[in-house]
Amino acid sequence: MILIHCPYCDEKRPEIEFANAGQAHVARPLDPSSQSDEEWEAYLFIRANPRGRHHERWRHVHGCGRFFNAVRDTVTDKFETTYKAGEPRR
Amino acid sequence: MSDALFRNEPVSSTPYVADGVSISLAAPLKRYSLRARTADALETVLNAKVPQKIGATEGGIACLGPDEWLLRTPADTAMPTGAGLPVAITDISERSICLVLEGPRAAELLMTGCPLDLDNFAVGRATRTIYETVEIIIIREGEDRFHVEVWRSFAAWLWTAFTAAASH
Amino acid sequence: MSGYRLENGGRIDRSRPVEFSFDGHSYQGFAGDTLASALLANGISLFGRSFKYHRPRGIMAAGSEEPNALISVDRGAGRFTPNLRATGVEIHAGLNAFSQNRWPSLKRDFGAINDRLGMFFPAGFYNKTFMWPRSFWEKLYEPAIRKMAGLGDAPTQEDPDIYASTYAHCDLLIVGAGPAGIDAALEAMGSNKRIILIDEQDELGGGALADPALWPWLERSRKALIDAPNVTILTRTTAFGYYHDNFIGAVQRLTDHMPDNSDSPREKLWRVRAGEVVLAQGAIERPLVFDGNDTPGVMLSSAAKVFANRYGVAVGTLVALMTAHDSGWHDVFALAKAGVGIKAIIDVRTEVSSALLDEANRLGINVHLNHSVTGVNGRHRVTSMQICNNADYVGARIDCDTLLMAGGWTPSVHLWSHSKGSLAWRDDIGAYVPDQPNENVRCVGACSGGWDFGSGVIVDVLPTPKDQSRIKAFVDFQNDVTAKDIKLAVREGFRSIEHIKRYTTNGMATDQGKTSNLNGLQIASTALAKPVTDIGLTSFRPPYTPQTFGAFAGHAKGALFQPTRTTNIDGWAAENGAVFELVAQWRRARYFPRAGEDMHAAVNRECVAVRSSVGIFDASTLGKIEVVGPDAAEFLNRMYTNPWKALEPGRCRYGLLLKEDGFITDDGVSARLAPDRFHLTTTTGGAARVLNMMEDYLQTEWPDLDVWLTSTTEQYAVIALQGPNARKLLEPLVEGIDLSADAFPHMAIREGTICGIPTRLFRVSFTGELGFEINVPTAYGRALWEHLMAEGAKFDITPYGTEAMHVLRAEKGFIIVGQDTDGTITPFDAGLDWAVGKKKPDFVGKRSMARPDIVAPGRKQLVGLLTDDPNVVLEEGAQIVADPRQPIPMTMIGHVTSSYWSETLGRSIAFALVAGGHEKMGGTLHIPMPGKTHEAKVSGMVFYDAEGARLHV
């Protein structure tokens, strides 16, 4: 069970307090109706599957309740950093 | 409230006493979920001090998240509704019950299923966390005394888990 | 010496004899003995039969690396444990142990025929032989192989033992309490660190327990550590796995060594989070590979020293040593000192230090340098051995009853490797040692490759004049893998040790190759003519030694298996004979049978009662979310398909929730309590998911909105009163609410009190009847329920369960998300397009409703089905075809999602998802079921009171 640093609580907490919430920085288009089918398909379904650095979202669901962003290495399962939702991509 | 209708609690009102720790059901409390962008916004509405830091408690108010506080108060105090203001005050008095773990083995008992390092969890601190698979809120009331808030439907399970672990 | 028990020495308590049983025979040992040492002391050399060839096997090691002596212990009904290592089982009064993998008895084993046929069982034999015909595998090959092969029997009864579990935190965790681990603990003891010291044996000491010279130091150290308040000592505890961020799993064995079963936990699972980890797991001696090296009486030389010095047991009366390492010499010198007769030392090396030779000479031991053992005589016990000169193969026979092997040492890097620390190859010791750490961890002592055992050479297989393809020189004793098997794998083209391992099964037994991995690697390396480092190293994986399922389950069995959520009214339902079903984690009353009623009869009665008078239903499990803040209506408008901004306070609305892909994910009736306060309801199973989804949008997409969400599912007990008499029953109990139809119409909410308790009273209906859902603070749920039951007696009030609720809603055409939808159903597919706000510019899922796949014809759509035979109730899940005369496999065009007998209508009703269903109205479809294919007409989904006359009263 890994430890994950919650950027809101500002401490490392056990993994079972958290839930993964998929890839980070996939913003909902401001005006979905203006999206072409291809653009909308990309937003809905197309996700990265990198070997190595991966930007993903986690929620401290059994803690402060906040969604936040993380950079995790998919090979080593080590978190490089975590940061608050809305902050620029790291 | 009516004399006709009685309260029905999910666990026994008789404390469970084991070697070094007791488990008991706390008396009914009024509980409110307090939400706002800042502690200051709530202070204005409540006219009370609201802790700023996640995990801190002050006057019965625990800061659980950046925009979330839990107020627990024994008295049937009148609460403002916050109507029209950028705050949310919601009555959750009956959502959970509180189990009190008390005694020199209280932290040890909690750590049988809670993954937090309670040696480094100071008196006065509160947090939402988990006991095995059940979400709880723990409040360290004293060196040897914890309040464990648990949603009612999970309370019977948690009581059984605590009493089993305490008996070992 | 009496039998094989030495006159003196050992740490056993000779004043406390212990009676125990092995294979039905009674034996005596002493307190402090293991099953292995006690049986050896009784002259027992045969402990089991091997996995594949059923060869007789004895003790090879003294610790948890023992591959051969796997035994079962029976502690009474349900307390049967197979595959324990005899070297780790502490004897106690009444211990009842059995050998394994033999029939009818250990000495006469029918399966030993496999050994004679050994030439027919090469590596990959099963894979190659039993491939064809395929149908034979399940019926013939697998059962036969399972009977013959395999280790101990699986227990068949429920385990009555209890198991404890805990998390623990420390600043320093030390795994292994040999001299290196103890030194690490002593060194840190004076600090303010929280220290946990773990060892798998019954007492601290590790290797020092076999070295009497160290006992005074050991005793002093043990006392100091016990007295230190910051040190927790866990003996009989195996650290079985090392996980991310210094998280270590360990199992403590609490009662197995005790004579009686107790009510206290048998084992305890420790989930330890450590700041720093020190691994002091020691090293394991390597066997030598030669013909007959598995004969009972052939064992590791270090083990012989442990049995003599720790347990006071002579492993034999005439002992010879085959060695490639100085440590073997030291071991036999120690044995000689303890009074064990040493016959000869055979060393594969041409030169050894003069100090060793002088000592051997002084003790009168014959020495044969540059020699190897080429054969062992004796079947159930060594009687003699064949040795020969490595240069000219001139041989000799030496009589002995025990042959020790000293093949060098393998550092125990198991946990280090679990932690993903890297390994470095050291040619001088022929082993991998810890290199770069991946966690805050370091290795000390022998497991780091630092030891004082002397030096040696590494030989993969001892030189022999015999035909290598005809000898049985074992590498993996537990899985019966020989050197020949590994060479065969290489000949057949396997190049990576990962493939060789899987093909030969080398290192894949319960001991995970503790004694075989490195020998296997060396043999493959020689066969491939490549350095060891070029052919890889197999992964070490948890658990270090096998652990019980009980320890992993911990408390999670019986009532604690998983939380069963119950409502405040659940106790009443239980006391009144409800039959329950699980819905998500909730226990819900399914129906309330009266005497003599089956489910069908009970549900019919409950449905009729609701339609004719009044029914009462526990709806507390419905998910509830309070949405509060100035932007509450705006937020709901963006989340749900229908418009929310214009909903007046005091009114309710059916909300349909899509995921962004356009598919229905939840629904529920929600109420506006105030301009900035809504009371949402969700499905029972969807409560957590919906709240999470709403939080996600709120926190990450629309953080500018001033609105907050609070789960209030458990704040309220919810009692549904449904039926034409619902208002009459309620009216006298409610204060502050005008219940008249005009003042309180369908789909409205009012706040007031009921029996003096504050209530949020909904006028809603999931049955099609006049209905109310009474929300009260949860603790009063049961009391209010009982009050309503008493007051409702004059209306013959009838409690109904989820089954009747399902029938009643189906009669009205109401769907259940998750039963009638499956995550691929749009509002249009479900016939719910009326609930979609066409004029709204955006809501979650709106854009997807124009996706090409979703506007394409032929989608599965929800329709009603009425069977031609009204008495036939279709099976839910039954497949639907358009033409039953097609050859099998037929084209399936949909399936039945809900199907019930409607007592009200006097016939069956069903919903189905059917491709292009909306265009098939009135058409006939075919539903093949066991025995018969049924016909049904496609219909609308509302079967009862289509105009809603019963609601608006």
Return the pLDDT at C128.
63
- pLDDT above 70 as % of chain C: 96
Q: Which residue of A has its CA nearest to B65?
A: A64
Residue C619, class by beta-carbon neighbours within 10 Å (0-12 exposed, 13-18 middle, 19+ buried)? Answer: buried
Render C669-722 in DSSP notation, one character per residue: EEEEEETTEEEEEE-TTTHHHHHHHHHHIIIII-TTS--EEEE-TTTEEEEEEE
Do C165 and B91 count as a contact with CB atoms less than 8 A apart? no
How distant, in Å, are the alpha carbons of C479, C507, C758 from that of C122?
Answer: 12, 16, 79
Q: Measure the CA dihedral C86/C91/C93/C94, to 10°.
A: -10
Q: State yes or no: pLDDT of C123 exceeds 90.
A: no
Confidence of residue C152 (pLDDT cuts 50, 70, 90): confident
Q: Which CATH homologous superfamily contains domain C623-711? A: Aminomethyltransferase beta-barrel domains (3.30.70.1400)
Confidence of residue C1 (pLDDT cuts 50, 70, 90): very low
Return the pLDDT at C137.
63
Highest mean predicted confidence (pLDDT) among C118-127, C445-454, C456-465: C456-465
Task: Say if the ipTM goes beyond 0.85.
Answer: yes
Return the pLDDT at B74.
84
Residue B56, class by beta-carbon neighbours within 10 Å (0-12 exposed, 13-18 middle, 19+ buried)? Answer: middle
C-alpha distance from A55 to closest chain C C-alpha (Å)? 15
β-partners of residue C860 are: C915
Pick the CATH number of C13-117 from 1.20.120.1770, 3.10.20.440, 3.40.109.10, 3.40.50.300: 3.10.20.440
C-alpha distance from C40 to closest chain B C-alpha (Å)? 37
Q: What is the tens place of the pLDDT at every residue in C672-723? A: 999 999 999 999 999 999 999 999 999 999 999 999 999 999 999 999 999 9
Return the pLDDT at C146.
62
Q: What is the tens place of the pLDDT at every residue in C912-951? A: 999 999 999 999 999 999 999 999 999 999 999 999 999 9
Q: State yes or no: pLDDT of C130 exceeds 60.
A: no
Do C660 and A44 count as a contact with CB atoms less than 8 A apart? yes
Q: Which residue has the tokens 């419905």?
A: C622
Return the pLDDT at C227.
97
Confidence of residue C118 (pLDDT cuts 50, 70, 90): low
Cβ(C811)–Cβ(C904) under 8 Å?
A: yes
C-alpha distance from A6 to closest chain C C-alpha (Å)? 15
Return the pLDDT at C260.
85
The span from the CA of C565 to the CA of B96, in Å, is 13
For the segment B35-57, the average pLDDT, to the nearest whole number, is 96
Return the pLDDT at C539.
85
- Whether the CB of A16 is below 8 Å from some CB of chain C: the reply is no
Identical topology for domains C13-117 and C812-939? no
Pick the CATH number of B30-91 from 3.30.70.890, 3.30.300.30, 1.10.1040.10, 3.30.70.1520: 3.30.70.1520
Closest CB to A67: pick one of C243, C696, C848: C696
Do A33 and C245 count as a contact with CB atoms less than 8 A apart? no
The span from the CA of B69 to the CA of B127, in Å, is 10
Residue C379, class by beta-carbon neighbours within 10 Å (0-12 exposed, 13-18 middle, 19+ buried)? Answer: middle
The span from the CA of A40 to the CA of C846, in Å, is 11
Q: What is the tens place of the pLDDT at every residue in B100-121? A: 999 999 999 999 999 999 999 9
C-alpha of C614 from chain center: 48
* Residue C950, C-beta contacts closer than 8 angstroms, at least 6 positions apart: C724, C768, C769, C770
The span from the CA of C619 to the CA of C228, in Å, is 57
Do A66 and C245 count as a contact with CB atoms less than 8 A apart? no
- C597-600, Cβ contacts within 8 angstroms, sequence gap of 24 or more: C599/C803, C600/C901
Do C699 and A37 count as a contact with CB atoms less than 8 A apart? no
Q: What is the tens place of the pLDDT at every residue in B59-81? A: 999 999 999 999 999 867 789 99
Q: Which residues on chain B are in Cβ contact (under 8 Å) with A67?
A: none
For the segment C247-268, the average pLDDT, to the nearest whole number, is 94
Do A76 and C842 count as a contact with CB atoms less than 8 A apart? no
C-alpha distance from B54 to closest chain A C-alpha (Å)? 6
Q: State yes or no: pLDDT of C17 exceeds 80.
A: yes
* Residue C66, C-beta contacts closer than 8 angstroms, at least 6 positions apart: C36, C59, C60, C85, C86, C87, C88, C511
Do B90 and C626 count as a contact with CB atoms less than 8 A apart? yes
Render C333-360 in DSSP notation, one character per residue: HHHHHHT--EEEEEESSS---HHHHHHH
* Residue C59, C-beta contacts closer than 8 angstroms, at least 6 positions apart: C36, C40, C45, C47, C66, C68, C69, C86, C87, C296, C299, C303, C315
C163-280: CATH topology: FAD/NAD(P)-binding domain (3.50.50)
Mutation pick from A2, A6, A10, A16 vs chain B, by most beta carbons of B within 10 Å, is A16
Do A13 and B116 count as a contact with CB atoms less than 8 A apart? yes
Do B37 and C710 count as a contact with CB atoms less than 8 A apart? no
Cβ(C571)–Cβ(C782) under 8 Å?
A: yes
Confidence of residue C291 (pLDDT cuts 50, 70, 90): very high
Q: State yes or no: pLDDT of C139 exceeds 80.
A: no
Return the pLDDT at C289.
97
Render C581-609 in DSSP notation, one character per residue: EEETTEEEEEE-PPTT--HHHHHHHHHHH
Q: Which of C905, C722, C928, C878 is nearest to C805 (CA)?
A: C722
Do B35 and C708 count as a contact with CB atoms less than 8 A apart? yes
C157: how many CB neighbours lie within 10 A of its CB?
Answer: 10
How far is it between the farthest Cα atoms of chain B?
A: 53
* Residue C368, C-beta contacts closer than 8 angstroms, at least 6 positions apart: C344, C345, C346, C347, C387
Return the pLDDT at C132.
59
Write down how long chain B is.
Answer: 168
Return the pLDDT at B2.
44
The full set of domain ranges for chain C reads 13-117, 163-280, 623-711, 812-939
**C residues 699-738 near B, CB within 8 Å?**
706-708, 710-716
A3-28+36-84 classified as CATH 3.20.20.70: no
pLDDT in tens, chain A (90 residues): 999 999 999 999 999 999 999 999 999 999 999 999 999 999 999 999 999 999 999 999 999 999 999 999 999 999 999 999 999 999
Please, what is the average pLDDT of chain C? 94
C812-939 classified as CATH 3.30.300.20: no
Q: State yes or no: pLDDT of C134 exceeds 70.
A: no
The span from the CA of C472 to the CA of C837, in Å, is 80
Q: State yes or no: pLDDT of C131 exceeds 60.
A: no
For the segment C377-402, the average pLDDT, to the nearest whole number, is 95
Mutation pick from B87, B98, B168 vs chain C, by most beta carbons of C within 10 Å, is B168
Do A59 and C852 count as a contact with CB atoms less than 8 A apart? no
Do B66 and A8 count as a contact with CB atoms less than 8 A apart? yes
Q: Which residues on chain A are in Cβ contact (under 8 Å) with B129?
A: 13, 17, 62-63
Q: What is the tens place of the pLDDT at every residue in C578-622? A: 999 999 999 999 999 999 999 999 999 999 999 999 999 999 999
Return the pLDDT at B1.
41
The span from the CA of C63 to the CA of C41, in Å, is 17
C-alpha distance from C694 to closest chain A C-alpha (Å)? 12
Q: What is the tens place of the pLDDT at every residue in C194-251? A: 999 999 999 999 999 999 999 999 999 999 999 999 999 999 999 999 999 999 999 9
Q: State yes or no: pLDDT of B3 exceeds 60.
A: no
A partners (3+ CB pairs within 8 A) are B, C
Tokens matching residue B163:
């009493």
Could you say which architecture CATH assigns to the domain B16-28+94-167? 2-Layer Sandwich (3.30)
The full set of domain ranges for chain B reads 16-28+94-167, 30-91
The full set of domain ranges for chain A reads 3-28+36-84
Least confident range of C17-26, C153-162, C569-578:
C153-162
Q: Which residue of B has its CA nearest to A18?
A: B129
For the segment C783-793, the average pLDDT, to the nearest whole number, is 98
